[in-house]
Chains A and B, each alone.
Chain A
Amino acid sequence: MTIRPIILGGLAAILFSSSALAARMDLTIGMVLEPPGLDPTAEAAAAVDEVVYANVFEGLTRIGPEGAVKPALAKNWTISDDGLTYTFELREGAKFHDGTSFDASDVVFSLDRARAEDSTNAQKALFSAIEKVEATGDTTVVVTLSEPSGAFLYNMGWGDAVIVAPESADTNKENPVGTGPFKLDNWQRGSAITLTRNADYWGDQAKLDTVTFRFIPDPAAATAALLAGDVQAFPNLPAPEAIAQFEADPRFTVVIGSTEGETILSTNNKKPPFDDVNVRRAMAHAIDRQAIIDGAMFGLGTPIGTHFAPHNPAYVELSETYEFNPEKAKALLAEAGFEGGIKATLKLPPPSYARRGGEIIASQLRDVGIDLEIIPLEWGQWLEQVFKGKDFDLTIVSHTEPNDIDIYARDDYYFQYENPDFKALIDKLNVTADEEERFALYRQAQQIITDDAVNVYLFQLAKNGVWDAKLNGLWENSPVQANDVTGVSWSE
């Protein structure tokens, strides 16, 4: 009988010892998707950047929490009057995690590698304006552009443009070697990635010793993990249904920010009957955006009327262009010659905004005579059938790349919109450097695609950040896909 209390006491000691620490130096962040690899210059998956951006890898510039361009490995820069020559002054004393030093040759290597013919960089367009990259000293790099590019400094702040070392470039996928304040400690595949503080960092030391990214795709498991304290932060919780509960709980901070994700009912503009603008307008009138936001996203999300983020200064409020009006929708359909109704398919990728939103949209469109068959797809199948094969009528997807209205000018893009005027507009935009002019062009672009009702614009995806109330310094919005933990710390 005397043995039992001892065992119990021992168990209790093991149980509670970890929570008895005074100042926390560790953080576990929840993420939905696990990155396939950790090289942002070779992989497009947002999850890669969400682990390594700013934490492990740095570029010449970086994007701050508000979306502004800030210096990173480039201390400062000068731009020639014709806008073609950028001279970057580099940081001295920066080192890669493997101990090799960082200098101008690494920048030349990285940029040349990214824009090379055989490069597998997923965002080669970022580098398309570059004509040549030269090191004019150990800490000076001159980049010459073939034409002025208003977004060049911003582009250099993307995760795809980070600086890597020639020695480690090929193995970064598994063993990322960057210059950032954190380095890879351990990757438990399928579960978590742990970063530890890089004591040799050139700038301010990180305030945390270790940061673990834990991958929890399932909304229920994610909610449970936060509630149980297994993860202390979920920068974008995939369970909007749980937000109200966290808001009511004083242990948590809930920050509803905005993402760059325009969630749209993507429409195959070349496939009858959706090649008829009246049919597309009818759909826009038939859909009650607020019901979708309430029912699928539990009220989280901003209605949009065009392919542009509402927090962008150039945004035009067009969400009332096609007000919710089923009668008008029916009339438009009748006018287009579809009184008898339309049968079509709705292909849905896995995220809950698509699956839940799809059910509501199918129900709303059924009310005006458009009968949708729902076909759920895995991402692989979606890419193959919808994105590459263009074998679809309707789909729901969130376009999460920032400032991506130019996709409407792309030849052969999956929703197959073709409008020479719009293309001309984007061409003009690409060579315009003046901000005011650019904004004006952006506004025109938004108006055109809304008038053409290319897709049904549903809502801007919210960033449902939930974290421990004692955590400071996490980003509220996501101007780039990143979980920058360099400035994060625990209070007390």
Chain B
Amino acid sequence: MAYFIVRRMMIVLLTLWVASIIIFAMLQIIPGDPAQLMLGINATDDAVAALREQLGLNAPLFERYINWMSGMLIGDFGYSYTYGTAVGNLIAERITVSLPLALIALALSTLIAIPVGIFTASRRGTATDTSAMAITQIGIAIPNFWFAILLVYVFAITLRLVPAGGFPGWETGLWPALKSLLLPAIALALPQAAILSRVTRSALLETMAEDYIRTARAKGLPARRVLWHHALRNAFIPVLTILGLQFAFLLAGTIIIENVFYLPGLGRLIFQSIQRLDLMVVQSVVVLLVASVIFINFLVDLAYAWADPRLRRQG
């Protein structure tokens, strides 16, 4: 197991390093001059040149990559051209929106999906099962941003129950902050819940078909009891895997939703920074997101290996 972990860790680091080069290289070819953008269309050429020098944009490519990477290693994410502050601060500020949003969405999706999955699995083939599965099919097909628009229209504009968007900040209190994350979280969670409940259902049905479950049934244990005590535990691994993947997806996939609700999260930060050519911010946030996806995949791999020792040797 130790060998497996070390080997996987090496791969994780290698992947991260290659990803960082790709990101850095991609951003170098984005057209546009950040200095000109910051100073606007009536700025004099001298002012633009002075700012370029000040921003360190004239250093050679390789040097800038090394500076950026070595900074990252000691936790220094560089300096934002346009915000005039450390990128680390920006990320710390934005993650207090994106992370809770992703967590709430994940919690919502789990809270909806697991019961639905269990319920439908235990009533396989009934009309309830069929109609619930039909609903999940539609849920998967709904684009979350379209759902978000409808939610805003109904709950914020027409009924005025929750804000249409924006984030008041955690310092205004738990409830106002949570309230403004509610609609975006629902919009994000619904399609995920649809997927997750299907996974839960089929994982349960698959375990129910395993020999030991059949044995338990044969021993005369009631079906419900077998479901709750035996099948559920074993169906958890695939469900956890999907949860891990969904979390990574949610954290990064909030880009569109954060824009619909104008939440000051990481996704919107990337969008704005690309528009403003604030490459330092884009680089660092993208690397951070990519790193978190890689890390979560790593954890999922570990969970798999833990569950199925055969995989450890393959790596």
Query: A-side interface residues toward B, CB under 8 Å?
Result: 11, 14-15, 18, 34, 36-37, 43-46, 118-125, 173-174, 188-192, 214-218, 220-221, 224-225, 227-231, 350, 378-381, 383-385, 387-388, 401
0/1 interface trace, chain B 162-181, chain A, CB 8 Å (1 if under): 01111101000101100000
A483 to B112, CA, bound (A): 46
Of residues 133 through 184 on chain B, the ones whose CB sits less than 8 Å from some CB of chain A are 149, 152, 156-157, 160, 163-167, 169, 173, 175-176
In whole Å, how far is A30's beta carbon from the nearest beta carbon of chain B?
9
A384 touches B264 (CB 8 A): no
A43 touches B169 (CB 8 A): no
Which of A37, A124, A214 makes the CB contact (< 8 A) with B47? A124
A384 touches B38 (CB 8 A): no
A37 to B36, CA, bound (A): 15
Please name all residues of chain B whose beta carbon is closer than 8 Å to the beta carbon of A228 when the two chains form the complex.
156-157, 160, 163-165
B206 at the interface (CB under 8 A from A): no
A383 touches B37 (CB 8 A): yes
Q: Can you list 8 pairs linking A and B with CB atoms under 8 Å apart?
A: A36-B82, A37-B82, A120-B47, A122-B42, A122-B47, A174-B84, A191-B167, A383-B37
Which of B32, B85, B261, B264 makes the CB contact (< 8 A) with A380? B32
A191 with B41, Cβ < 8 A, contacts A230-B164, A380-B275 known: no
A121 with B31, Cβ < 8 A, contacts A37-B83, A189-B264, A228-B160 known: no
A216 to B43, CA, bound (A): 26
Please name all residues of chain B whose beta carbon is closer than 8 Å to the beta carbon of A192 when the two chains form the complex.
166, 169, 264
Q: Which of A118, A379, A380 has the most CB of B within 10 A?
A: A380
A379 touches B275 (CB 8 A): yes
B272 at the interface (CB under 8 A from A): yes
A142 to B56, CA, bound (A): 38
A120 touches B33 (CB 8 A): no
Please name all residues of chain A whose beta carbon is closer than 8 Å to the beta carbon of B30 when the two chains form the complex.
380
B290 at the interface (CB under 8 A from A): no
A216 touches B165 (CB 8 A): yes
A401 with B42, Cβ < 8 A, contacts A189-B264, A225-B164, A380-B37 known: yes
A122 to B38, CA, bound (A): 10
Of residues 14 through 61 on chain B, the ones whose CB sits less than 8 Å from some CB of chain A are 30-34, 36-44, 46-47, 50-51, 54
A190 touches B268 (CB 8 A): yes
Give the size range of B's interface with the partner. Answer: 35 or more
In whole Å, how far is A224's beta carbon from the nearest beta carbon of chain B?
3
Please name all residues of chain A whose beta carbon is closer than 8 Å to the beta carbon of B262 when the two chains form the complex.
191, 215-218, 221, 225
A179 to B245, CA, bound (A): 52
In whole Å, how far is B168's beta carbon from the nearest beta carbon of chain A?
8
A227 to B261, CA, bound (A): 14
Beyond contacts A218-B259, A380-B275, A381-B31: 11 other A-B pairs, Cβ-Cβ < 8 A, are: A44-B42, A45-B38, A118-B50, A122-B44, A190-B94, A221-B261, A224-B156, A228-B164, A379-B276, A383-B41, A388-B33
B264 touches A188 (CB 8 A): yes
0/1 interface trace, chain B 63-102, chain A, CB 8 Å (1 if under): 0000000000000000000111100001001100000000
B108 at the interface (CB under 8 A from A): no
A191 with B166, Cβ < 8 A, contacts A174-B85, A383-B32 known: yes
Please name all residues of chain A whose beta carbon is closer than 8 Å to the beta carbon of B93 when the two chains form the complex.
188-190
Please name all residues of chain B whose beta carbon is closer than 8 Å to the beta carbon of A188 when the two chains form the complex.
93, 169, 264
B165 touches A224 (CB 8 A): yes
A190 with B264, Cβ < 8 A, contacts A120-B51, A230-B166, A388-B36 known: yes
In whole Å, how far is B181's beta carbon from the nearest beta carbon of chain A?
13
B274 at the interface (CB under 8 A from A): yes
B264 touches A36 (CB 8 A): no
Please name all residues of chain A whose beta carbon is closer than 8 Å to the beta carbon of B39 when the two chains form the complex.
43-44, 120, 122
Which of A11, A122, A189 makes the CB contact (< 8 A) with B43? A122
Please name all residues of chain B whose beta carbon is closer than 8 Å to the beta carbon of A123 when the two chains form the complex.
42
Query: B-side interface residues toward A, CB under 8 Å?
Result: 30-34, 36-44, 46-47, 50-51, 54, 82-85, 90, 93-94, 149, 152, 156-157, 160, 163-167, 169, 173, 175-176, 259-265, 268-269, 272, 274-277
A45 with B40, Cβ < 8 A, contacts A227-B164, A380-B32, A388-B33 known: yes
Please name all residues of chain B whose beta carbon is closer than 8 Å to the beta carbon of A44 when the two chains form the complex.
38-43
Please name all residues of chain A whose beta carbon is closer than 8 Å to the beta carbon of B163 when the two chains form the complex.
225, 228, 230
Please name all residues of chain A whose beta carbon is closer than 8 Å to the beta carbon of B173 when the two chains form the complex.
14
Please name all residues of chain A whose beta carbon is closer than 8 Å to the beta carbon of B175 when the two chains form the complex.
11, 14-15
List the A residue with the shortest CB-CB distance to B38.
A36
In whole Å, how far is A383's beta carbon from the nearest beta carbon of chain B?
5
A11 to B34, CA, bound (A): 47
Q: Which of B47, B259, B272, B277 has the most CB of A within 10 A?
A: B47
A173 to B264, CA, bound (A): 20
Please name all residues of chain B whose beta carbon is closer than 8 Å to the beta carbon of A379 when the two chains form the complex.
37, 275-276
Please name all residues of chain A whose beta carbon is closer than 8 Å to the beta carbon of B149 when the two chains form the complex.
220
Q: Which of B47, B157, B176, B262 has the most CB of A within 10 A?
A: B262
Which of A36, A190, A381, A388 makes the CB contact (< 8 A) with B84? A36
A221 touches B47 (CB 8 A): no
Please name all residues of chain A whose beta carbon is closer than 8 Å to the beta carbon of B259 when the two chains form the complex.
218, 221
A186 to B263, CA, bound (A): 17
Please name all residues of chain B whose beta carbon is closer than 8 Å to the beta carbon of A221 when the two chains form the complex.
164-166, 259-262
In whole Å, how far is A26's beta carbon from the nearest beta carbon of chain B?
12
A190 touches B44 (CB 8 A): no
Q: Which of A14, A122, A217, A231 has the most CB of B within 10 A?
A: A122
A384 touches B165 (CB 8 A): no
A102 to B79, CA, bound (A): 32
Q: Which of A14, A45, A188 has the most CB of B within 10 A?
A: A188
Please name all residues of chain B whose beta carbon is closer than 8 Å to the beta carbon of A350 when the two chains form the complex.
275
A125 to B47, CA, bound (A): 12
A189 to B82, CA, bound (A): 11
B166 touches A225 (CB 8 A): yes
Closest 8 interchain pairs by CB? A44-B40, A380-B32, A224-B164, A191-B264, A190-B264, A36-B82, A228-B164, A173-B84
Please name all residues of chain B whose beta carbon is closer than 8 Å to the beta carbon of A224 when the two chains form the complex.
152, 156-157, 164-165
List the A residue with the shortest CB-CB distance to B157.
A227
Please name all residues of chain A whose beta carbon is closer than 8 Å to the beta carbon of B164 when the two chains form the complex.
221, 224-225, 227-228, 230
Please name all residues of chain A whose beta carbon is closer than 8 Å to the beta carbon of B160 when the two chains form the complex.
228-229
A381 touches B32 (CB 8 A): yes
Please name all residues of chain A whose beta carbon is closer than 8 Å to the beta carbon of B34 when the two chains form the complex.
380
A191 to B31, CA, bound (A): 26
A189 to B90, CA, bound (A): 7
Please name all residues of chain B whose beta carbon is closer than 8 Å to the beta carbon of A121 when the two chains form the complex.
47
List the A residue with the shortest CB-CB distance to B158.
A227
In whole Å, how far is B46's beta carbon from the nearest beta carbon of chain A?
8
In whole Å, how far is B89's beta carbon from the nearest beta carbon of chain A?
8
A123 to B38, CA, bound (A): 13
